[in-house]
Structure 1
């Protein structure tokens, strides 16, 4: 992590320093103050792929944030938290400035709350889209018919490389370590198969108040719906969350499936736009709002 701005107290006594695993309980406690649903295990899993910054004031942790580098040219930023009592002191700006050090040549992605959007715009981020967070108690979903030659099947651990390639093509950045981690820890991973070749996949995993579905990568909305319906039915009776790209066109279908929309963060990018292949697979649901 760049350290030019770290470990030197500012005029108001605020100190920024690199985050360590010992800081995760404090980061989780801050998220609870914000009524975020993350479990300690969610923070541990995300930080295993991240670099982080901690803000201290009078020896107390009052802010945290993380960034994830994906390959040589891409990064995401998330879990930016400032204690409510310390907001208005430009701590969020200092956190973001520290996280952006060394990323001038990177495409940087984040998902902004309405409160954070103005700050991110001042730092060079531009709006590129919108997410829609859907959640609720999952109900059995009707099966979605697939075309001849297409089927759903469980993923195998030996096909991590195929799923990593699908994710990279859909997200526009390589996230091999993350996809391998999720594949190994997910409760379920279903593959959309065409004539014995994987064309998409979706995961169901523990997160927050219950389970999350994501990422969901598919060549079209019909394939995405088939995988989501399968996982929603598998998780029937349990709290289920999915964060979709509004442009995916799945919002109304999810509402009708008993998962209402509850939030709509703004997708923002700094740097070169994400390069995705128009004829390739699309990312219908993200991993998390932090990691993208």
Structure 2
């Protein structure tokens, strides 16, 4: 006989659920990423399943967040199930709800080896790996081959007047409107930079933001790898905590450059897609996601 607790209801999360989300994330060793969770809960749609009244641990049994970009594309992240209730279908129920609410629009997510089988059962297809690098970025040696490799651009802090051009540039690169998310960058990020050509054209932008024990670099969107490096150096140098950068397997030269500058591999995930054959926009211009959960 199936009990009611085997099918606890799914509800929408609110900012008031922040503490319970952090508790669940900490249980999984993700750390209490309060800064990121606040943004996710404010800019996305969170789904949760509460522990039943007779569960002594209480809190949330499962979470996932869907971030919609003008209903054209959706990013999925923070898929978590409490250890005491794993393998009971809670994750599958949440993901089916997310797919249903996307109403046929494609979805993107990054999957660990543990989560990948669940997503594959739902029809997600692997698109390539993403390697997480962490460490303290070092200056290139004096006279080294990387010094002066700035792509011919000038890098400076972003200003309010840059935002319309940033949004237009990102729309082509990402393939969907991220206005609601990118407009939050000036307050969310510690550093928010733009790169411009000598003629004044926007050639890229990037940001870095605090995340518990690391400083995350992203988003990073640029014309090419040389512009990405020109932005990456001032974003990652001298950060208060080790820099974190998520680089796609389709950017091996950038990964080698980061290794040479002191960052080391600490993890690997798989980019997966549902409802489309290829990612949106111009992937060659996207050098780092906003975060793994945001796409």
TM-score by length of 1: 0.89
2:268 aligns with one of 248, 264, 270: 264
Give the unaligned 5+ runs of structure 1: 1-8
Between the aligned partners of 2:137 and 2:150, the Cα distance in structure 1 is: 22
Between the aligned partners of 1:119 and 1:144, the Cα distance in structure 2 is: 46
- Tell me if the contact between 1:14 and 1:55 (Cα under 8 Å) persists in the aligned partners: yes
Note the C-alpha offset of 1:246: 1.9
Q: Counterpart of 2:234?
A: 230
1:276 aligns with one of 264, 281, 293: 281
SS in 2 for 1:223: helix
Aligned residues: 280
User: 1:7-86 counterparts in 2 under 5 A?
Assistant: 10=4, 12=6, 14-59=8-53, 60=58, 61-86=60-85
Q: Counterpart of 1:173?
A: 176
RMSD: 1.9
Between the aligned partners of 1:121 and 1:168, the Cα distance in structure 2 is: 29
User: 1:65-144 counterparts in 2 under 5 A?
Assistant: 65-141=64-140, 143-144=147-148
Between the aligned partners of 1:147 and 1:188, the Cα distance in structure 2 is: 20
Between the aligned partners of 1:144 and 1:104, the Cα distance in structure 2 is: 48
Residues 174-222 of structure 1: per-residue CA shift (max 9 Å, x gap): 1111111013332112211111111101112112313111111111111
Between the aligned partners of 1:37 and 1:169, the Cα distance in structure 2 is: 34
Between the aligned partners of 1:196 and 1:270, the Cα distance in structure 2 is: 38
Q: Counterpart of 1:188?
A: 191
Between the aligned partners of 1:39 and 1:277, the Cα distance in structure 2 is: 29
TM-score by length of 2: 0.89
Between the aligned partners of 2:184 and 2:207, the Cα distance in structure 1 is: 12
Between the aligned partners of 2:148 and 2:8, the Cα distance in structure 1 is: 54
The 1:118/1:64 distance shift into structure 2, 3 A limit, reads: same
Q: Counterpart of 2:166?
A: 163
Between the aligned partners of 2:8 and 2:38, the Cα distance in structure 1 is: 25
- Tell me if the contact between 2:35 and 2:210 (Cα under 8 Å) persists in the aligned partners: no
Give the unaligned 5+ runs of structure 2: 142-146
Between the aligned partners of 1:254 and 1:202, the Cα distance in structure 2 is: 16
- Tell me if the contact between 2:151 and 2:226 (Cα under 8 Å) persists in the aligned partners: no
Between the aligned partners of 1:260 and 1:229, the Cα distance in structure 2 is: 16
2:207 aligns with one of 203, 206, 209: 203
The 1:38/1:179 distance shift into structure 2, 3 A limit, reads: farther
Q: Does 1:285 align with 2:284?
A: no
